[in-house]
Amino acid sequence: MKAILTLDNLASGLVTTIWTPVFVVIFLAIIAYAFWPRNKATFEEAARLPLREE
């Protein structure tokens, strides 16, 4: 049988070949930013915000 090129097949192929790796890279960049040693003090200060008495 001959494969029929439809919009659904094209969209599915586009998502799996382009957008999935792009989102994986974005996710890994966010994780790297969160665990970067330079940002530790900023995140620790933000974690103490609810406990602060004003």
Please give the pLDDT value at position 22.
Answer: 93
Indicate the burial class of 24 (C-beta count within 10 angstroms; 0-12, 13-18, 19 or more). exposed
Instruction: Using CA atoms of 14, 20, 26, 32 in order, give the dihedral in degrees to the nearest 10.
Output: -160
Instruction: At 16, list the tokens.
Output: 């799996």
Tens digits of per-residue pLDDT, 1-54? 566 777 777 778 877 888 888 999 999 999 999 999 999 999 999 999 998 887
Cβ neighbours, 10 Å, residue 45: 10
pLDDT of residue 9: 78
pLDDT of residue 53: 83
> For residue 40, what are the CA distances in angstroms to 18, 19, 23, 25, 43?
33, 30, 24, 22, 5
pLDDT of residue 49: 92
pTM flag (> 0.85): no
